Structure 1
Amino acid sequence: MRPNKVKRPTASNRKVEKASLRWHEIVGKTVMAQREITSASARTGASSRMSAVSSHGSGAANQGGGGSGGSQQTSGSSIDQETGQEDLIRMQEIFEEADEDGGGGLDIDEFKVAMKKVLGSKTDDRELEKLFMKVDTNCDGTVDWDEFLSYMLLEYLEKDLIKAMMAELPFSKDEVEVPRKHSSLIVRIRHVPLTRSVSFTHSLPIPGRGRYYSIDESGIVNTWSGGMQHTRKLRCPPRGQVPLCCRDIAVLTNLSLVLVASTLNELWFFDVSKFEKQCTVTRLPYSVECMHYQYNYNNSNQSHLLWGDTGGNVFIIALSESLQTGFFSEAYLNSKKEMPLEVYSSGKFPHCKLYQHRGIHGSWTRQIKFLSGSSQFISCSWSSQSSMVVSLLRENGRPPYIFNVTKGL
């Protein structure tokens, strides 16, 4: 079987591309040497329109020359700038020669004749027609010198702006290979910003600084620096003979805790330093599918822990004195460091409130987040009914905003 032929760019297409690059180079030089163009245009009998275009850029020339006179700038001009002037003047002369009817602009046939004098007679007419439609901004069927020069200038500025924007991207241009530290499916990656303490209850995030936590289904937790350098590898302890299937991880920065959710209908609290289990919240009605933790940077005592489960429910634990009480107490822990969920709703746990939104989604709750400053949360599921819910923390009543999307979110 004969292999398919690979289409190669034609010589005319390559010539158009080279000419386009040359145009951008010429315009860049023109912006930096407008006074030289004006004087050169006067010597060669250039039209008044070319002089008008040059006068618009006189401010840029004054800045580049420090306010010096035209004769001083001409003496200090480089050979590259002189070449740019001659090219521009030659192109303007070609435009004037191609304007056979003297109407001040070139129609599409005259435009193709002028461009072929610059690019060569074998240039593809279709490419020139495309260029004509781009340059003819007012769509009057003709292209004059001012339109052509403005098009080149805008193209140059746009490409220069794109280059500047690309240079400011936060990611490096080269791909960095990160060594694999997980043996099973990664279910969540969390970014945790680093903070600096202003007072006992007040902290501020450090811009551009943070670390990452990743967890897989088998319960292996890896930590990474902001530059994706691996720092620690931790493992959730087995739960008897039952295999682990972890679903999410949350980092409680102000309490130095890590929270892990699994399909065992439990929440596990670990300390950050030694990764030893501190508490297990048991007797959850369904398996936790997603979590979100938020605390107030201005008052670290105020924190909210949210989770959604496979029953379409949403639970929120709100603490007003989290630095003093935390999310668990020795008074309610048994010998296995377990505490049932009912403790949060019993009213016995100090400075704690449990909000329960049962059945607000028709399917599993897939994502959830607390909206800071508004006492609201947003959650979504794959269900076509109640695909996304935005609600206050209140327990009773219909959530205020419900969005239905086919096949969910």
Structure 2
Amino acid sequence: MARESEVRSLLTLSSKSEDSSALAARLRWRNAALHDRCNMKDMERIKEAFEESYNNKMGPLEFRDLLKTLLNVEYDDEEFNILFMKMNTSRSGEVDWEELVSHLILGYFGNDAENQRESLQPPIMGLPTILRSQHRHPISRICFCPDVEKICTMYYHFSEDINEQCMLICGDVGGNVRVLLFSPVARGPFKNEAGRASITLRHVDLQRRPSMLPELHLIELPRLHAEWVRQVSYYKSLHCVVSCATCPDALLMCDIHGSKTHNMFKVEKGIQCFTFDEEAHVLVTGGPDCSVRVWNPFVPAKPSVTFIGHHAGITCIVLQNKGQTIYSLSRDRAIKVWDVQGQVCIQSYIDVPSVIGERTPISAVYNPATREFILAAIKIAIVVLDEQLNPLHTDGFTHSRAVSKILYNPLFKVIITCGLDSIIIVWNPVTGKRNVLIRDAHVRMLHAETVPVEITAACFNPGNLLLLSGARTGELKVWNFNTGLCLRVMTIEHMCEVTGCFWVEGRILAIGWNRHVVEFEDTGMATSGKVWETRHTDDVLAAAVRPPLTIATASYNSELVLWKLETGQPYR
């Protein structure tokens, strides 16, 4: 049950204005979050008050009176002390305008519903599954057909309405598009009949003598593009055929008869691939210019958004979340994940192995039912896009990998969790919401790419104001966990896992796989520390400290050593 001081209470006071006889209702808030009470006018008045104060700063009493006067917010002594310490990041005993604004921004970010719903698990995880191809030559085209158990090179459109004809749409090297129509019930030429011989026909034969195959109707859309057609599809809600080519007249959306709709999307170097979401009316294209473009299908003049980041031509596009998430595959086997609403790249996935075909063009298809992205060349690779969360693994709001450390801060009354996913989360134990989220707390460079590093140890400083974290690479970092700001970086030894860290008065102690205790001063910015005498013959895996006298360390081979904290010497 939450304390009464933690619940916002509303008291209505009535006062009579000198200029008017009407009564105005005034709201009195208790222990309220500042970002819930400040509007633009309040911010302007608070800024004026800071400008009028001495050195543009305010002490605790002056700032508390300001909040009570301007915002009608009152705080209990304990709650105000916590609030003031969160804002006073410089630990000078006074807050300025910049510190207040930073605190409000963090509050608004924490209240953002999108931030609370944000999953900590990246869209693509792990390595792809590699399958051996049964073809003698590289695969040139791969498609997924829900109702046809075979691989084909054309686009099938199957209508759920039995009164609407099914379509086979194909494009050729001359820039022509042909549509073959047949009944979904009679199945046209694909109906098996006993005693009926197989017939081989070319489209020229259907043009000249349609009576040869009355079950199949051919519609030709000639010379839509100046180059050969790269991809075709059918936009059902608009009854349009969509085709693209790598020429300036890059993508055409037109109805079957070419009379009602005829939208031409122009891109200088053309379009290699496209996809769309009919419900959201979002069209996404990619091409040789390495750019991903998001279009409104009704506005062909200019793309709504352009994403730049690939270093090779784009060969395949996949949409998820009603067009809000884009996956783009380029010729160099890199997959990038784009957030349309935020207009940012969420992830760059480079783990598609070269064994599927290093110099062979890659064909790809996406199965929305299983969320599998199937890539094919010499071999076949299967990558799962945005795998559905396993409730036994993560709920999507907490860590996506094991939690390595959990701490409770009695000063700010928050819970801090550190995970092997290199994420630090500050939790409000009353509401269960994330106050602060620190991604990629520890990282290292691998093949010119930033890779997150597992967090293996953490502790608070003696005053519970700062957080110290240790990583598998031997790196230590000091954090202001209320703002997510890294204040200092230290190292015990390169690529030597930190298994424990302690912050005692004036000193930081760390242990790890280097078999000894490393001591740092808690002031200054030194990155290396003093090494204590080596007494262990194997990796130190555990330690405990009892200030101000003793620290105990234990190694993998069962050695236990007791040390004097004051001198750094072992007990005899």
TM-score with structure 1 length normalisation? 0.42
Bigger Rg, which one: 1
More strand per residue: 2
